Amino acid sequence: MKAELPIRKRQEKKRKLNNRGMSLIEILVAIMILTVVTGPLLHSFVTAIKLNAKAKEKQRVTTAAQSIMEGFKAYTLEELCLQFYNSQGIDDPSPDTGLFYVVANAHRVQEVDNAGAPHSSITTVPDGEGTVTKFTPSIDNRYTFSLQGVNFEGKLYDAKVELTADMAADMAAIPTVKNLASIEDFDVDTTAMYDQENPNVDSEAFGAIAEWILANDSSWKVSDLMSWNDKLQEEDIRNTLMENLRVEEKVIELEVENGTNKVTVKTKYSWSVEACDIPYLNDAGEEQDYHRNAVSSQSSYYNPSTGVVYAPWGDTSGAVVQIYPTEETKDSSKLKTISFCYYPAYDYEGCGISTSGVSIPKETITVLRSGQAVNVSLIKQKNPSVSSEVELRTLEEAYKGNVSVTQNGWGPDVTFDGGNMDENLADDITPSGDMIDEKPKVLIYTVKVSVYADGEAAAGYTGEPLVVLNGTMYD
């Protein structure tokens, strides 16, 4: 028994030595090992969080660009320019205000030129009774739009959208090809441009003048004639007048108002009615004629924008169509040229050509100016109602279009293809050469949407874009 005591003591002493714990050195070593092992893991976690944040931001910016792209593709070019024109200088032109629809929650949107300066392809011009908006294509078929403070998922961005005409596109593959005159190379800041968009204006004026005669001329007034003889029918009166109404001359008056930058145009038709008989049935059912004396030459102004006829002895201010905007939008000192694009008035009947056009034997363009010297460029547009080159040449050879110059000092400023403006205009132009023909309108545009950090628009977009998205749109 006594021999076992030393062994037990040794065991207890050993247990006491094993329970002494970890030393400081051991703890430091353990921490170092833990740091070595967990450091890369923590770095990986932080890196993953940052990458996820960047990926989310990239996705948000890309989605914002796609939203803007889809907004642009939903409208025609003219509709886009009109939206930006109506919203320029307005904060938050969102759909809630009914002002802007390309993208919601954008602040201060505007169309700009290639240098980033404010510019608009839309202008407001008078139409005789009020004002209308007019779209003027750019010279190089490029358009740029700026959007500031686009709010997307709670973050603000700036965006620049650039449209460039795709001239290499296959126009023939698109069924909805539009046409327009080749006038997009005119400088709208220095040129007062009149683009006659309606080739049927003479026919419409003829019908409007006939209705004016039936309502106002005592010798043809429908209500008066029917009260004199109840056997006359309104339809017979109207048809007989239309058959015997003649347009003798069309006069286009161009005027530059002294001291202002306003250029206006008025259109006047000289007309007469030949002596004729209006058929009717008497009480016995026999056909008789109601004789009408001839109406001597008279004149009426006609406003093609409103379709209203004005007598020259009355107030004809409503017949004025302004072709150069008001002083608020243009600088009069820059005005250099009046480019007047028009459809010639032909004598179809005299040439023996059957057509729906009204036969007008003579056309005169009167230019009135005082003060500032301005050049005048008269440009014929090819009427689509003329079916062949042979008909066009026949009509052009018989065309009597002359220019009448009024006011002192105007003569040397009037030029037309290097010719003498006092001669017949048909001598100065060849139908297949200088005449403006229709051409396919640009229908496809490449669209480049660049999204920037908030504030880049004000800085002129000098920084790098966050994302660039390319696409196409149809006009």
Answer whether residue 43 is part of any domain: no
138 and 204 inside one domain: no
385 and 469 inside one domain: no
Q: How confident is the model at residue 325 (pLDDT cuts 50, 70, 90)?
A: low
Answer whether residue 112 is part of any domain: yes
361 and 242 inside one domain: yes
**Which tokens is 21 given?**
């714990």
Answer whether residue 375 is part of any domain: yes
d(CA 357, CA 346): 8
241 and 137 inside one domain: no
d(CA 64, CA 157): 9
DSSP code at position 442:
P
168 and 195 inside one domain: no
d(CA 131, CA 138): 22
The number of folded domains in the chain is 2
404 and 449 inside one domain: no
Answer whether residue 420 is part of any domain: yes
343 and 470 inside one domain: no
Answer whether residue 249 is part of any domain: yes
Q: What is the pLDDT of residues 25-63, one digit of tens each?
A: 777 777 787 777 776 767 666 666 665 667 788 888 998
Burial class, 2, CB count within 10 angstroms (exposed 0-12 / middle 13-18 / buried 19+): exposed
d(CA 268, CA 206): 11
pLDDT for residue 226: 86
Answer whether residue 40 is part of any domain: no
d(CA 401, CA 416): 13
207 and 334 inside one domain: yes
Quick check: 452 pLDDT over 90? Answer: yes
In a 3-state reduction of DSSP, which class is residue 445? strand
Quick check: 152 pLDDT over 90? Answer: no
Answer whether residue 46 is part of any domain: no
Provide the strand spans (E) within 73-186: 107-112, 122-126, 131-135, 142-152, 155-165, 179-180
pLDDT for residue 474: 76
d(CA 243, CA 239): 6
297 and 316 inside one domain: yes
CA separation, residue 381 to residues 135, 149, 306 (Å): 19, 45, 22
The identity of residue 152, as a single letter, is: F
Q: What is the pLDDT of residues 68-92, one digit of tens each?
A: 999 898 888 888 888 888 877 677 6
**Which segment, 10-14, 338-342, 369-373, is predicted with the most confidence on average?**
338-342
d(CA 216, CA 132): 30
In a 3-state reduction of DSSP, which class is residue 332? helix
d(CA 164, CA 144): 9
315 and 410 inside one domain: yes
Residue 271 CB partners (closer than 8 Å, separation 6+) = 209, 245, 246, 247, 248, 297, 298, 299, 300
Q: What is the pLDDT of residues 265-274, one digit of tens each?
A: 999 999 999 9
Which of 65-69, 120-124, 136-140, 399-403 is predicted least confidently?
A: 136-140
Tell me the pLDDT of the chain averaged across its residues.
76
217 and 285 inside one domain: yes
107 and 200 inside one domain: no
Burial class, 199, CB count within 10 angstroms (exposed 0-12 / middle 13-18 / buried 19+): middle
d(CA 386, CA 355): 8
Torsion over CA: 81, 83, 88, 92 (sign): negative
Q: What is the mean pLDDT of residues 106-121?
A: 85
Answer whether residue 180 is part of any domain: no
**Which tokens is 267 given?**
């259109």
pLDDT for residue 202: 93
Per the structure, the complete domain to which residue 353 belongs is given by 191-440
Burial class, 262, CB count within 10 angstroms (exposed 0-12 / middle 13-18 / buried 19+): buried
Quick check: 8 pLDDT over 90? Answer: no
Quick check: 417 pLDDT over 80? Answer: no
